[in-house]
A and B are shown apart, each in its own frame.
Chain A
Amino acid sequence: MWYLCVFFHRLLDYRKPEVESLAYLFGVNDALEWKLPKHHHPDSPFHFVNLPSEDIARSIANRSILVKGMYEVWGEGSSYEELEEAIRSYPEDQMLPYLSSDTTFKITVDSFGKVFSFQEQNDRIKGLSYIPFKGRVNLKNPDHKFWLIETDDYGVNNGLPPVAERRIFFGREIGAADRKLIPTYQLKSRNYLGPTAMDAEVAFLMANQALVEPGKLVYDPFVGTGSILVAAAHFGAMTMGADIDIRVVRDGRGPDTNVWSNFKQYGLQMPIGLLRADNNLPPWRPGLKEVFDAIICDPPYGVRAGGRKSGGRKLLKGVVDPYTVPDDKRVGHIPSTAPYCLSECVHDLLDLAGRMLVMGGRLVYFYPVLREDSTRNPFPDHPCFKLVASSEQILSSRYSRVLLTMVKIGPYTEEIAETARRKHLEFRENHLKWLEDGNLHSSVFAPADPQVTAAGDLKLSKDPKPKYRGKYV
């Protein structure tokens, strides 16, 4: 059954993967079929999606963050005459149950890219008098919601290519996203925040990509203030987190401003475990594997905050021998840490996920890309994983971040473990070289080279897949 799926005009690259993940969560195993309304651009908020049942469509819409609504379309057209003709030929037995006299209803007039005055909205509703509505109108809490959605040429200011033709849809609402979540969880009302706390909307998207459900165990190896786990806990998961910075996980900013209080604030289940550990040398017992249902994280990639790992800077450079901590100073000793480069961090993350995720479990994480050479830079891969979605969010003219969703499809074998061990040693031995190679910060903030910029502009103008940047997209 085809449904009209209308998205919020935000985070364009994240919209379809979210619906696809949720469809899988609600039991649709096959890849979804999508199609666009006539003359529509792929970035348009209007899409048709084929789903097995209304219940599944409703579940997806209600759980999603970016679906404005799923509709059963009763008619569409490029003019009101065409719309009327379409609605009149829609099977009556599919309409009558929703029009009967013992039900209440509401019609909403909506538009994309233009604003209707109250009068215009009323005129359009009156124009639908050929539909035999028998029920009473109830604007607050209707049984059935109908939508008249119009999209017309809206000028060029929203970044989308102009619409070739006006399109009008009329349909019955099946379900809509619970956007109330976002003001409830927004960061500005959060008790305890760090400089890289994950935005609530994106954190919920990550939890949806990871198929978080009650009873699942979700782990974040770079937990920080817990902003990702808050979203996972909202969907009922048991959560665990680790961080190398003990001040963040243990102390916070006082007894009521710490990671625990962020969960308490929303009445969520507290994390099952929080610990201080180094993702480079994780303290999991040998033999422990396949315990987490999902790993969701935003690895420190060194643009706003750099990662740290065990071992001093000088130690890893080989300038000094390992410092032996005197016995009387062991209690309370603060071990030194060294910068943790992105490629090593991602390697450790994939290795950890390969070992610790259950089969079919998902790894969802942000990966930074320099926009100029995104073609040269393929995403990290691992023999245990299949990449199922990648959604780009442009952050600046230089770089963007991509949310990668990977599914574990193969077992973590001895062979894979051995390769990872060797790679781990290689990273240790060539610590400096990797730091320089993987230094995203300087690539992002280095002064622009005029030649490169010119070439970059040329390339941007030829970009086959235009992306829109702006406050809201």
Chain B
Amino acid sequence: MRLLTHNMLSSNIKGVANGFPLLIEVEKVIEKQVDFNPDFLKNIFPKIEWKALVEASRSMGYAELPEESPESWMLDSDDFLRKFHHALLELHLEEGALVCPETGRKFPVNKGIPNMLLHEDEV
């Protein structure tokens, strides 16, 4: 699971009001190379919840992203884009879990695939 996916997911258990962002429980992180595409990054940037991305990348052991949400001019900086690219697309949670911030329910991540299916009593 890339952090782009993480940034889009929330816990949708019935009754949960604040299911975002999911906490990450790391067992194994691997890095997977992805072709660098500045246009894609610029397009996706406004859709990203920055704080959630910074925290998620920290829990995956990458602390290079600035704390504050970047100004739009930073998107022209190659250095920034490379870091953003790395955090968003190349960090890959292979084994671990996503934890609902409200209920503590764990959504397991095995072989890089988060399992977001709810149990019967959560629907």
B20 partner, pick from A286, A325, A333, beta carbons under 8 A: A286
Say whether A250 faces chain B, with CB atoms less than 8 Å apart: yes
Across-interface contacts of B37 in A (CB, < 8 A) = 214-215, 238
Contact bitstring A255-294, B, C-beta under 8 A = 1, else 0: 0000000000000011011111110011111101011000
A240 partner, pick from B5, B32, B49, B120, beta carbons under 8 A: B5
A226 shortest CB reach to chain B, Å: 12
Interface residues of B in 12-63 (CB under 8 A from A): 12, 19-21, 32, 34-35, 37, 39-40, 43-44, 47, 49
Given A249-B113, A274-B113, also A285-B118 (CB < 8 A): no
CA distance A385 to B64 in the complex (A): 41
Nearest 8 pairs between A and B by C-beta? A273-B5, A285-B10, A250-B113, A283-B116, A285-B20, A215-B40, A277-B116, A215-B39
A286 shortest CB reach to chain B, Å: 7
Number of interface residues of B (CB under 8 A): 39
CA distance A285 to B121 in the complex (A): 20
Among B35, B43, B106, B119, the most chain A Cβ lie within 10 Å of the Cβ of B119
Number of interface residues of A (CB under 8 A): 42
CA distance A291 to B9 in the complex (A): 13
A272 partner, pick from B34, B110, B118, beta carbons under 8 A: B34
A335 partner, pick from B112, B114, B118, beta carbons under 8 A: B118
Q: Please give the residue numbers on chain B whose beta carbons come within 8 Å of chain A beta carbons, in ascending order.
A: 1-2, 4-5, 7-12, 19-21, 32, 34-35, 37, 39-40, 43-44, 47, 49, 89, 106, 108, 110-121, 123
Q: List 6 A-B contacts (CB under 8 A).
A: A276-B115, A285-B19, A288-B8, A311-B120, A331-B108, A335-B117
Say whether A55 faces chain B, with CB atoms less than 8 Å apart: no
Across-interface contacts of B7 in A (CB, < 8 A) = 285
The residue of chain B having its C-beta at the shortest distance from the C-beta of A238 within the complex is B40
Across-interface contacts of A125 in B (CB, < 8 A) = none
Task: Say whether B117 contacts A273, CB under 8 Å.
Answer: no
Say whether A199 faces chain B, with CB atoms less than 8 Å apart: no
Task: Say whether B35 contacts A283, CB under 8 Å.
Answer: no
CA distance A336 to B118 in the complex (A): 9
Say whether A312 faces chain B, with CB atoms less than 8 Å apart: yes
Task: Say whether B119 contacts A333, CB under 8 Å.
Answer: yes
CA distance A288 to B35 in the complex (A): 25
Task: Say whether A273 contacts B1, CB under 8 Å.
Answer: yes
